[in-house]
Each structure stands twice: as C-alpha cells, then as structure tokens.
Amino acid sequence: MSPSFADPAADSLPVHVVASDALADWLARQPDEVRAWLSATGFEAGLGELRLLPAAGGGIAGAVIGSGTAKARARSRFGLSRGLSGLPEGDWHLKGDLAPEAADEAALGWLLSTYAFTRYRGAARLPKARLKLPEGRDGARLLAMAEAEALTRDLINTPASDMGPQELEAAFLALADGFGAETAVIRGEKLLDRNFPMIHAVGRASTREPRLLEMRWGERGPRVTLVGKGVCFDTGGLDIKPSTGMLLMKKDMGGAATVMGLAQMIMALDLPVRLRVLVPAVENAIAGNAMRPKDILISRKGLTVEVNNTDAEGRLILADALALADEEEADLIVSMATLTGAARVAVGPDLAPFYTDDEGLAVALQAASGPACDPVWRLPFWEPYEALIEPGIADLDNAPSGGFAGSITAALFLRRFVENPRYMHFDIYGHTPSDAPARPKGGVGQGARALLTALPQMLGL
C-alpha cells in the first residue's frame, strides 16, 4: 500500500489538536454537549489521546486529539500518529494552532503509520481514514520521505531466503530504472579482476556470489556518493555467531536499504546533485573457501588487513567500496551500515550515531535531525584509539581485542580508506525492537531524512 493523503477537494471532518495546558481554554469555546461528553469520557488531552465528537442524530461531528505536554512531545516522536490511526473511515483534516514542524511531524507520522509488511500474509489492518495534507506544507516532500521509508523497511524486513545478494541487486536495479539512473554490477570472480579483494573474500563462501552495485544519477550540482553495507545475511563466518545472534541478521543489509531509500528521496525530489550509490552485496557464510581468522587481506587501497574476527566483515566490504568512492572527486561521501553492537550499547536503538571530522557537516546534520523527526548523535573519530586498529603484522586490524570503543574503532578503520575530508559514517541499527508510533516492530530507516534535510546547507543548494 503506497502512502497517500486524502483528496484536498473532498469534504472532511476536523480533528482538533489540543495541548494539555490549552485544554481548559479550548473546552470553554465548545458547546455544552461537547464539554459534557469529554468530561464523561475522561479526556485530558494526553499525547495521542483521541475522542470522537458526536453529532446531533447519532453521527460523528469530528474528533479531538491531545498533543500532551511539551515534555511528553519531547519524549515521543510521532506521538499524534497513534491516536490518528484510530480514526474511523472517512476524510479528516487537522485543526488547531500547529507550528510548521509540528504539522509536518503529524502528516509524516500519519503516512508512516500506513505501512505494513504484508509479503507473507494477508492485508494488515491499516487505518481506513484518510488525512488531508495540512495547509501550507510540502506534500511532495513528505510523500517522498514516506515512500522511501517504505522501500527501506520492505528491504530490511524481507528474510535472507528472498533477499540475498541477487535479490538486493534486483531491487537496486529496479530503483535505478525507475528514475533513469545508470547502473553497473561486478559479480563473483570479476571482483578480483577489478580489484575488490575484500568484498570477494567476505562473500566467496556463499553459494550466492558477492557483487558490487553502482548507480549514477543527475547531471548538475555537487557530487554526493552514498555507500551502504549490503550483508544480506551474516552467520559470523568461521567465527560463527550463536543462534540467538543470527536471529536479526537479515537486517545486516540495513545500510544498503537506507542509502537506497535516501537515493530514492533525492531522485524523486529531483535535487540538483550528481548522485552516486555504491552497495557491496554479500552473504557472510561458511564453507571450505571461507576467510579464516588471522588471514591477511590486501585491500583495494593497498592497505593490508589482518582478519582477527570473521564476524567483523562489514567494515571489510565497505573499505573496498569506500576506496572506490574516494578515487573520484566528491563534495560529500556518506557510508551507512549496521556495523557494531557497540553503537547500540552506547546510544540504544532509536538514535543513529554518526562520525565526521567536518564541523560544518555535523552542525548541519544535528540542526536538520529535529525537523526531519530523525534523531542522530555525533560520536568522535577519537585519534588516541588509532593504535588499537594497528596489529603490527599488517596495516590494520579488523577487530581489535579488548572490547572497548567498538563503534569508534570501526569508524576509524573505515576512515583509513577515505582521504576526502567531507566524509560521514553512520553506525545504524536499522530495526525497531517493539511497536512505536509510526514505527512498527521491524526494519526502519535511520539518518536518511536528517541527511536529506541537511543537504541544502551541507552543499549550498
């Protein structure tokens, strides 16, 4: 089901948006029967609290939804969407003194709430109501965000049986074809011929051959290169994960899914950029030809890497792709990956941690994350930890011992393959552990909307 707004020309019923501290004033302006009804039903205007308003003769005159307190709103993204999803069938419009950002959040939350992953079951119970776009808001932009998020969620939610490297390639090519983008794919042994040895090393043990996917779109403006980790399933390799550690590994291509969603937004909105997207797509499996602990790999950049854990494979495939990205001039290079558990321990599943040495990029992203309803948090490229990723026998160690600062050392590892100072890395989770407003349990994009919103300031568009 594609997200959409109600026909702006259709008749619609009002949904009055009322904050807790404004409830008394609002009630004073309502008819006696409305005040009596809301008093009888205990309405307190809590965030997302919904009440239908009766009309004479037994119909529905409208609805009222609470926007809670400022503290409640700060603690919950898309707080209105939980209540809005309870509206009965029909066309509705928001009514109240909503600030532009609040109107965007309500509208975007509504669109995101219409998502359900139904590939393997019947149609889900989704809202039957239709919401009109709030007046003065950019509907095309909000729809582009919601449609891209649906793509990202679908890709992450699809199990590896139906979303291996070949299927991820098919989705990548379909996305490119939809916007007239140019593509190129390098598969299997040709990865060695074209000097992508670490992508090949990680994926060669699978029956589904590894590959590097590339897309180019746009003929004007700054150059933006997106690189997404596409590990379609991660057993851990010979350093095999326990069974519980594999349960969510279908989401290990969440970085690829998220950069594809961001690319879709950029192309759908026809932003004046020259876009390049790189996705190394592999399955980290176990076979006689799997890479081994203590193997030394020679990367595309020429740096040697000691494999001290075959389960730290994502940074290996990203390193070759980032080296390729860095060979071409770019105004911005971004990598996105479900890279480390350490990032989740540090900031939990709801925040997207990012790294950059460019203060301007960091400030622009932080400023954009609030309006985009897409929280991010900056972590440091901490120079004193550089020594931890130098094993002595090779230039780099893919999995430093000790267990400290795992997300930072992974980010430092990736930075070794990018000389462009305008580089950003995201260590995302890509999964919502339990149902949340506008975010059902399962795959989720992180950081993409914040980046989209920040691009004009980042690139001077």
Token pair recorded at residue 423: 């580089």
Active-site option among 141, 190, 194, 241: 241
Q: CA-to-CA distance for 436 and 167, rounded, in angstroms?
A: 29
**Domain span including residue 39:** 13-128
Token pair recorded at residue 229: 């980790």
Q: Is 190 a catalytic residue?
A: no
Cβ–Cβ < 8 Å for 309, 293: yes
Q: CA-to-CA distance for 424 and 450, rounded, in angstroms?
A: 13
- Stretch 146-175: mean pLDDT: 98
Residues 6+ apart with CB under 8 A from 75: none
In a domain, 189, yes or no: yes
Whether residue 326 is found in the same domain as residue 244: yes
Tally the domains of the chain: 2
405 Cα distance to chain centroid: 23
Give the CATH number of the domain where residue 60 resides. 3.40.220.10
- The residue among 128, 158, 183 that closes a domain is 128
- Residue 303 per-residue DSSP state: -
Q: CA-to-CA distance for 208 and 187, rounded, in angstroms?
A: 10
- Residue 389 per-residue DSSP state: G
Per-residue confidence (pLDDT) for residue 128, from 0 to 100: 79
Per-residue confidence (pLDDT) for residue 4, from 0 to 100: 87
Whether residue 122 is found in the same domain as residue 157: no
**From 94-98, 186-190, 372-376, the region with the lowest mean pLDDT:** 94-98
In a domain, 423, yes or no: yes
In a domain, 60, yes or no: yes
- Helix H or strand E encompassing 325: helix 314-326
Per-residue confidence (pLDDT) for residue 183, from 0 to 100: 98
Secondary structure (DSSP) of 218-287: -SSS-EEEEEE-EEEEE--TTSPPPHHHHTTGGGGGHHHHHHHHHHHHHHHTT-SSEEEEEEEEEEE--S
Whether residue 284 is found in the same domain as residue 393: yes
Q: How crowded is residue 203: how many other Cβ atoms within 10 Å of its Cβ?
A: 31
Report if pTM > 0.85. Answer: yes
Residue 124, pLDDT above cutoff 80: no
Residues 6+ apart with CB under 8 A from 49: 43, 65, 66, 68, 83
Q: CA-to-CA distance for 87 and 75, rounded, in angstroms?
A: 23
152 Cα distance to chain centroid: 7
Whether residue 72 is found in the same domain as residue 163: no
Give the CATH number of the domain where residue 179 resides. 3.40.630.10
In a domain, 17, yes or no: yes
Q: CA-to-CA distance for 337 and 231, rounded, in angstroms?
A: 9
Per-residue confidence (pLDDT) for residue 57, from 0 to 100: 81
Whether residue 24 is found in the same domain as residue 62: yes
Whether residue 62 is found in the same domain as residue 177: no
- The residue among 102, 128, 154 that closes a domain is 128
Per-residue confidence (pLDDT) for residue 223, from 0 to 100: 98
- Stretch 427-432: mean pLDDT: 98
Q: Which residue has the tokens 């042994």?
A: 189
- Stretch 214-229: mean pLDDT: 98
Whether residue 172 is found in the same domain as residue 78: no
Whether residue 175 is found in the same domain as residue 69: no
Whether residue 105 is found in the same domain as residue 67: yes
Tens of pLDDT along 100-119? 999 999 999 999 999 999 99
Tell me how far CA of residue 292 lies from CA of 187, 210, 272, 286, in angstroms: 22, 17, 45, 10
In a domain, 451, yes or no: yes
Residue 1, pLDDT above cutoff 60: no
Tens of pLDDT along 364-405? 999 999 999 999 999 999 999 999 999 989 999 999 988 899
Active-site option among 77, 82, 229, 315: 315
Which residues lie across from 234 on neighbouring strands? Answer: 284
Whether residue 273 is found in the same domain as residue 358: yes
Whether residue 277 is found in the same domain as residue 308: yes
Token pair recorded at residue 299: 């990367």
Burial class of residue 120 (count of CB atoms within 10 Å of its CB; 0-12, 13-18, 19+): exposed
Beta strands in 48-197 (DSSP E): 50-54, 60-68, 90-95, 129-131, 182-187
Mean pLDDT of the chain: 96
Q: CA-to-CA distance for 287 and 442, rounded, in angstroms?
A: 30
In a domain, 4, yes or no: no
- Rounded to a whole number, what is the distance in angstroms from the first to the last CA of the chain? 33
Percentage of residues in the chain with pLDDT exceeding 90? 92
Cβ–Cβ < 8 Å for 371, 453: yes
Residue 231's nearest CA partner among 249, 245, 243 is: 249
- Stretch 254-279: mean pLDDT: 98
In a domain, 133, yes or no: no
Per-residue confidence (pLDDT) for residue 58, from 0 to 100: 83
Tens of pLDDT along 291-339? 999 999 999 999 999 999 999 999 999 999 999 999 999 999 999 999 9
Comparing 118 with 355, the larger pLDDT belongs to 355
- The residue among 70, 97, 128 that closes a domain is 128
Residue 77, pLDDT above cutoff 70: yes
Whether residue 99 is found in the same domain as residue 201: no
Residue 284, pLDDT above cutoff 70: yes
Tens of pLDDT along 12-65? 999 999 999 999 999 999 999 999 999 999 999 999 999 999 998 888 999 999
In a domain, 8, yes or no: no
- Stretch 123-145: mean pLDDT: 87
Q: Is 294 a catalytic residue?
A: no
Cβ–Cβ < 8 Å for 293, 242: no
